[in-house]
Structure 1
Amino acid sequence: MSEYQYYEFQALDQPLSREERDRLRAISTRAVITATSFTNTYNWGDLSGNPRRMLERYFDAHLYVTNWGTHRLMLRLPRQSLTLPMVKPYCLAHHVDAWATRTHLLLDLTSEDEGGDWVEDADDSLAALIGVRDELANGDLRPLYLAWLSALAAWELEDDNEDVYQSCPEPPVPAGLGELTAPQRALADFLRVDADLLTTAAQASPPRPRKSARPTKKELAPLIEALPEKEKDALLLRLALGPEPQLRTELLHRLRGTPAATAVPGRRSAAHLLDSAHTLRNERRQRAEHEQATARAQHLTTLADKAESVWQQIEAHIAAKKTAAYDQAVTLLVELRDAYAHTGRDADFHQRLTGLREDYQRRPALIHRLDRHSLR
């Protein structure tokens, strides 16, 4: 399989100028560049630019996918909507990183799985994931917690030092981990978040507070009146200079405050979460094995009850004197052997099988198949 790398960048808050597009064209002559996007696929070679620097200067979101298992999502948000101290508790190893420029906060979320299955021609696109940027800007920290869970599972594979996990605290637990939005579910899939780890984490997650109603003039008027004159002037100046798509969200946060119940302090260690997820996984596996064993037992009991009909089918397949028919006959014989054993009638089966081998001893193709499946 040839190499595959997919790069996608999106400018959401402000379109690219002609000069900026020209500078991006110098990075790649083959990329599809518009006023709001930069996309390119590489089957050989690599992007000459640095994705982090490109995001800092030009874009608000970046997706990177390879056929050797790398999934990477980077987001840029105005510093007024999300602060570095809020994000830092969710940063872990090289899988979740954050840094700030003078105007923005940037997130780098990565998942690596070299042994994962690669789906050629998959729909690689930012479209399903981009909604988490607005959610983060509105104070929803669930995407950050999902990225931390993804990093935790990857970290476990890289470092088996139990003491490290015992000393690693859980970050604040956002409300509503048990009821993810569509973009958050897409992010969990993209970052390969372990389902059992997420279920374990969600046990300490309070319900999401009900969405507050659209603010009214009566509610906002006194809040705006109470703002300091200097702050009002600064907001009006930014509005006049515009466009700033996040300005309304920022202003509402300033006036009404971020909902207080969006997260609770993390009280568990990484080791506790990992151990609980392993327990949950083992319990589910045991239930599945028990259900399979029960279904198998029921199937064999039913098969033993209609054994004579199955013997007739076997005789009919053998009479066809065809390779495929012999294979079908042997498959039924293997099932019958298990059914007779399940009902404690092994001797009856071997007596019938001996008679069948004697009747068809001049059919070497059939006898060879019987021997190969230990039907003696």
Structure 2
Amino acid sequence: MSEYQYYEFQALDRPLSREEQEQLRAISTRARITATSFTNTYNWGDLSGNPRRMVEHYFDAHLYVTNWGTHRLMLRLPKQTLDLPTVRPYCLDHHVDAWTTRTHLLLDLTSEDEGGDWIEGADDSLAALIGVRDELATGDLRPLYLAWLSALAAWELEDDDEEEYQTCPEPPVPAGLGELTAPQHALADFLRVDADLLAVAAQASPAAPEEPLRPTKKELAPLIAALPQQEKDALLLRLALGPEPRLRTDLLHRLRGMTAPIAAPGDRSAAHLLDAAHTLRTEPRQRAEQERTEARGRRLTALAHDAEALWQQVRAHIATKKTSAYDQAVTLLTELRDAYTHTGRDKDFRQRLASLREDNQRRPGLIHRLDSHGLR
């Protein structure tokens, strides 16, 4: 399979100017560039520009996918919608990174899986993921927690230092982890979040609050009147300088104090979450194995109870002198051996088997089959 890299960038809050599009064209002559996007696929070579710098200067979102297992999502948000102190507890190793420019906060979320299956021709795009940016901008921290879980699972594979896991604290746990939105489900899939790890994390996450109703004029009027004059002037200035697509959302967020799912302080360690996920993952297999063991025990007890009838069947099969009947006799003897062992009567079985071999020592085909199955 040839090399495959897919780059997609999206400008959401404002379109790119013609000058900016020309600057981007200098980075790639093959890319598809519009006032709101930059996309390119590489089967050899690489993008000459630095994706981080491109997001800092031009774009609000970036998706990167390769056929050797790299999944990367970068998001740029205005500082007033999400601050670095809020994000920092979710940063882990190189898989979740955040930094700021003068005006924006940037997130870099990465998942690596070199052994994963690659689906050639898969529909890789930002469309399914872009909604998490708006969710983060309105205070929903579930996307950050999902990214932390993805990084935690990757960290476990890369580093086996148990002490580090014990001392690594869980970041604040947002409400609603048990009821993700569609973009959050897409993000969890993209970052390969372990389902068992997510299920364990969701145990400490309360239900998400209901969506607020559309505000009415009667509700908003007194809230606007109560805004400080300086804040009103700043909002009007932003409106006059527009277009600013997020202005209405920011204003409603300020007026109604709308907050997305509240994040409670995390009180579990990374080791606790990983161990609990392992238990959750293995319990069904252990339970199934126990059920199979118990069922086999009941079956062997029943066989031991009917042992005389089975010995008669064995002798009847042998008496036919047919090779297929010898095989059936050996199968029955194997089951009888296990049944006698299960009921603590090994000595009885060995005595009866010795007698059977003695009676049929001139049947080499049968003796050979008994020897090959350990029936000596």
Q: Which residue of 1 aligns with 2:318?
A: none
Aligned residue for 1:198, secondary structure, equals helix
Q: 1:73 to 1:226 in 2, by over 3 A?
A: same
- In structure 2, do the counterparts of structure 1 residues 133 and 295 end up closer, same or farther at CA, with 3 Å as the change threshold? farther
TM-score by length of 2: 0.79
1:325 alignment partner in structure 2: none
User: Relative to 1, partners in 2 of residues 1:128 and 1:340: Cα closer, same or farther, differing over 3 Å?
Assistant: farther
Q: 1:75: which partner in 2?
A: 75
2:119 counterpart residue number:
119
Alpha-carbon distance in structure 1 between the residues aligned to 2:193 and 2:291: 26
Number of the residue aligned with 2:136: 136
* Pairwise CA distance, 1:140: 0.8
Alpha-carbon displacement from aligned partner over 1:78-131 (angstroms, at most 9, x marks no partner): 111111111111111100011111211110000011111111111111111111
The CA deviation at 1:259 is 2.7
Q: CA deviation at 1:11?
A: 1.0
SS across alignment from 2:277: helix
Count of residue pairs the alignment pairs up: 333
Give SS of 1:97's match: strand
Residue in 1 aligned with 2:276?
276
Who is 1:236 aligned against? 236
2:146 is matched with: 146
Query: 2:75 touches 2:108 (CA, 8 Å); kept in 1?
Result: yes
Change (3 A) 1:237 1:338: farther
Aligned partners of 1:196 and 1:277 also within 8 Å = yes
> What secondary structure does 1:98 align onto?
strand
**Would you say the 8 A contact 2:139–2:261 is kept in 1?**
no
Aligned-partner Cα distance in 1 for 2:92–2:81:
22
Partner Cα separation in structure 2 for residue 338 and residue 41 of structure 1: 63
Query: Which aligned segments of 4 or more residues in structure 1 are displaced greater than 3 angstroms?
Result: 287-298, 336-345
Would the aligned equivalents of 1:78 and 1:246 in 2 still touch at CA under 8 Å?
A: no
Greater CA drift, 221-230 or 44-53: 221-230
Q: Is the 8 A contact 2:132 2:143 kept in 1?
A: yes
Match of residue 106 from structure 2: 106
Q: Does the 8 Å CA contact 2:140/2:259 hold for their aligned counterparts?
A: no
- Please say if residues 6 and 64 of structure 1, whose CA atoms lie closer than 8 Å, have aligned partners that are also in contact: yes
Distance 2:62 2:208 in 1: 28
1:309-341 C-alpha deviation (Å, 9 max, x unpaired): xxxxxxxxxxxxxxxxxxxx9xxx99x959984
Counterpart of 1:262 in structure 2 is 262
- 1:92 is matched with 92
Q: Which residue of 2 aligns with 1:10?
A: 10
Task: Give the direction of change, closer, same or farther, for the CA distance of 1:114–1:226 in structure 2 (3 Å limit).
Answer: same
| Structure 1 unaligned blocks of 5 or more | 299-328, 348-357, 359-369
Give per-residue Cα distances to partners, 1:12-66, cap 9 Å, x unaligned. Answer: 1111111111111110011111121111111111000000110111111100011
Shift of 1:285: 2.4
Question: Which residue number corresponds to residue 34 of structure 2?
Answer: 34
Deviation at 1:149, TM superposition (A): 0.4
Is 1:287 the equivalent of 2:306? Answer: no
| SS of corresponding position for 1:254 | helix
Match of residue 23 from structure 1 = 23
Aligned to 1:250: 250
Give the alignment's Cα RMSD to 1 decimal: 3.4
Distance 1:7 1:257, change over 3 A: same
Partner SS, residue 132 of structure 1 = helix
CA distance in 1, matches of 2:13, 2:94: 27
- Cα distance change of structure 1 residues 159 and 226 upon mapping to structure 2, 3 Å threshold: same
| 3-state SS in 2 of match to 1:49 | coil
Asked whether the equivalents of residues 209 and 260 of structure 2 are also in contact (C-alpha less than 8 Å), the reply is no
Q: Which residue of 2 aligns with 1:157?
A: 157
- Greater Rg, structure 1 or structure 2? 2
Tell me the amino acid that sits aligned with residue 41 of structure 1. Answer: T
Contact 1:68–1:113 (CA under 8 A) maintained in structure 2: yes
1:226–1:29 Cα change, 3 Å: same
Pair 1:294–1:193, CA change in 2 (3 A): farther
Give the 3 Å change call, closer, same or farther, for CA 244–290 of structure 1 in structure 2. farther
CA contact 1:56–1:76 (8 Å) conserved in 2: yes
Distance in 1 (CA, whole Å) between partners of 2:297 and 2:193 is 35
TM-score by length of 1: 0.79
